[in-house]
Amino acid sequence: MEDDIQKKAYGNTMGLDAVCVHGHFYQPPREDPLSGLIPDEAGAAPYQNWNERIHAECYRPNSVLGNFQKISFNIGPTLFKWMETYDPVTCDAIISQERNNYAQYGVGNGMAQPYNHVILPLANKRDKITQIKWGIADFEHRFGHQPLGMWLPETAVDLETLAYLADNKIQFTILAPWQVELTDGQTEDQPYLVELPGNRDPMTVFLYNRNLSTMVSFVSESTRNAEYFVNQALEPIFTAPNGTHNRITLIASDGEVYGHHKSFRDKFLSYLLNGALHQSDLEITYPGLWLLNNPPKSFAKLSEYTSWSCHHGVVRWMGECDCTLGANWKGPLRWGLEKLAEALDHQYQVYMRRYTRRIWQLRNAYIHVLLGQMDLHGLLGQFIGDSLTKTEVDKIGMLLAAQYERQRIFTSCGWFFEHFHRIEPQNNIAYAAQAVWLTRQVTGVDLKPQALALLRKVKDQRTGLRGDTVFAERYLRSKDFSEEDISYFNPSSSFST
Ligand SMILES: [Zn+2]
């Protein structure tokens, strides 16, 4: 099977034309922050919730068909975490398909993703670094090798984000064609270098083909038949005379298009990769493989604060844009959660500085506890030493758990849609309530009154549901919840003293 992945690109044929399909596989986190369970979702019937239904329609069949070996892909770490419990067989199949490529070519076709699907240009520096490091650690834990590329949530980008990717040995990302300024003679079928601040090496950016990606995502007729797609959509792109350069055409979409958003497109993808493309002169590739023999030479200027899913930049995740008119709750939600995050960070800092000055490095390394690679004792031993009492270990564990929630509250899905009265924004507030509750247990400082004041202006334009109401209700649930049931903060045992 590996032989099908393009030999010519690997062999550096001049004038080569290649195609790469990228799938961004991701679901908004639907888990209740306390139980870790997904509430029943009626719309997902006959499955219990959307994760299960999308899994049955997309993730599992695509893995059975071997599609993960032939596309470029990223799977959101929070989705992977759910999948590894729900269907470890599919999880393993996806990973081994990627690793087959890695074994054969020395470069894999999987890309990492920042851990919580946070809009990085809107995050502060520390959060950017944590999100990137957690995402890379998750990838390495699953795939057993370093990622070369990182997919950015909503492809939202700024130079600082790219700089931190470079600091963490990431070589490339994929962007929409409007996210860079091309000059005369530069075409979208090439990767480009983006200059970075400091003495960093430049970042490579691949651009996807806008028309083809739109067709795959939104024009059903175009993907009913893979041969038709190749003949009518793909090949005409390459009829223009090729110069001296090799061309790579990238088709990027949500991975859920293949089988969930559009039925049978998992089979379309399989036939495209295993049949229809073989009848053309086009080769199949992926970015890491392509770069081996086609390193970019020319520079392009980044258009900062842009994304793939909205033409209004990153405004969509902080306020109203033309896509979500009237969504005047978004600004107050962003502002309120940012202020609350500052207050949570302050408490973390005040409490932790008696133990170590490397508190943010500790937070970055906490991912290894979340992944089960070490226990909390081991982690704190590295940063603080072995002198901690059990109570101290448990309390620090709770504060790190608060920082985990503190990352989740900026999950981009909370701001994507028009209305506040739906699960995604309310989940972000539930994570905030949990962070406030955990912080109080450890420090005695109650941030709840501040949180309520900060979220008071968050109000759904149809139902009037308010942010402070949601917070208060979720906070009550945190209080009533038994500590032993909180699964993720993983102290050596329960923290009751
Ligand atoms: Zn918009």
Q: Where are the alpha helices (DSSP H) in 322-422?
A: 330-352, 359-365, 367-370, 376-383, 390-408, 413-416
- Which amino acid is residue 425, in one-letter code? P
- pLDDT, residue 87, reads 97
| Of the candidates 34, 125, 156, the residue with the CA atom closest to the CA atom of residue 431 | 34
Per-residue pLDDT for the chain (497 aa), expressed as one digit of tens each? Answer: 444 454 444 434 456 899 999 999 999 988 887 788 888 988 899 999 999 999 999 999 999 999 999 999 999 999 999 999 999 999 999 999 999 999 999 999 999 999 999 999 999 999 999 999 999 999 999 999 999 999 999 999 999 999 999 999 999 999 999 999 999 889 999 999 999 999 999 999 999 999 999 998 888 888 889 899 998 888 888 877 767 678 999 999 999 999 998 888 999 999 999 988 888 888 999 999 999 999 999 999 999 999 998 888 899 999 988 888 889 999 999 999 999 999 999 999 999 999 999 999 999 999 999 999 999 999 999 999 999 999 999 999 999 999 999 999 999 999 999 999 999 999 999 999 999 999 999 999 999 999 999 999 999 999 999 999 999 999 988 766 555 444 444 443 333 32
3-state secondary structure of 174: strand
Structure tokens belonging to residue 47 = 């499955």
Ligand 1 centroid to residue 311 C-alpha, Å:
5
Break the chain down into helix, strand, coil percent, rounded to 5: 50, 10, 35
Eight-class DSSP state of 162: H
Cα 132 to its chain centre, rounded Å, is 10
Ligand 1 centroid to residue 321 C-alpha, Å:
5
List of long-range contacts for 472-481, beta carbons under 8 Å, 24+ apart: 474/33, 474/426, 474/429, 474/430, 474/433, 474/434, 475/433, 475/436, 475/437, 475/448, 475/451, 477/34, 477/433, 478/34, 478/433, 478/434, 478/437, 478/438, 479/437, 481/34
- Which amino acid is residue 269, in one-letter code? L
| N-to-C CA span, the chain | 57
Ligand 1 centroid to residue 390 C-alpha, Å:
50
Query: Which residues, other chains included, contact 462 with Cβ-Cβ below 8 Å and sequence gap of 6+?
Result: 419, 421
Ligand 1 centroid to residue 20 C-alpha, Å:
27
Bridging pattern class, strands 110-111 and 72-75: parallel
Structure tokens belonging to residue 177 = 């064609």
Ligand 1 centroid to residue 484 C-alpha, Å:
43
Ligand 1 centroid to residue 178 C-alpha, Å:
14
Ligand 1 centroid to residue 465 C-alpha, Å:
23
Ligand 1 centroid to residue 323 C-alpha, Å:
4
Ligand 1 centroid to residue 326 C-alpha, Å:
12
- pLDDT, residue 490, reads 44
Torsion angle of C-alpha atoms 119, 123, 127, 130, degrees rounded to 10 = 30
3-state secondary structure of 251: strand
Ligand 1 centroid to residue 146 C-alpha, Å:
34
| Of the candidates 406, 407, 416, the residue with the CA atom closest to the CA atom of residue 330 | 416
Taking CA atoms, 304 is separated from 325, 381, 397, in Å, by 23, 41, 37
Ligand 1 centroid to residue 99 C-alpha, Å:
37
Ligand 1 centroid to residue 429 C-alpha, Å:
23
Ligand 1 centroid to residue 412 C-alpha, Å:
14
Buried b (16+ CB within 10 A) or exposed e, 208-239: bbeebbebbbeeeebbeebeebbeebbeebbe
- pLDDT, residue 277, reads 87
Taking CA atoms, 122 is separated from 191, 246, 310, 440, 470, in Å, by 25, 36, 15, 27, 24
Ligand 1 centroid to residue 324 C-alpha, Å:
7
- Which amino acid is residue 330, in one-letter code? K
- pLDDT, residue 421, reads 95
- pLDDT, residue 29, reads 87
Q: List 203's β-bridge partners, or say none.
A: 194
**Whole-model pTM?**
0.93
- pLDDT, residue 123, reads 98
| Of the candidates 160, 179, 246, 173, the residue with the CA atom closest to the CA atom of residue 203 | 173
Owner of token pair 């979220």 = 455
d(CA 213, CA 220): 12
Cα radius of gyration (the chain): 23
Q: Which residues have beta carbons under 5 A from ligand 1 (an ion)? A: 310, 312, 316, 321, 323
Ligand 1 centroid to residue 133 C-alpha, Å:
29
Ligand 1 centroid to residue 287 C-alpha, Å:
29
Question: How many of the other CB atoms lie within 10 Å of CB of 56?
Answer: 16
Ligand 1 centroid to residue 394 C-alpha, Å:
44
Ligand 1 centroid to residue 222 C-alpha, Å:
26
Structure tokens belonging to residue 449 = 């009154």
Query: Which residues, other chains included, contact 256 with Cβ-Cβ below 8 Å and sequence gap of 6+?
Result: 25, 27, 54, 58
Taking CA atoms, 394 is separated from 265, 347, 489, in Å, by 48, 16, 9
Ligand 1 centroid to residue 176 C-alpha, Å:
15
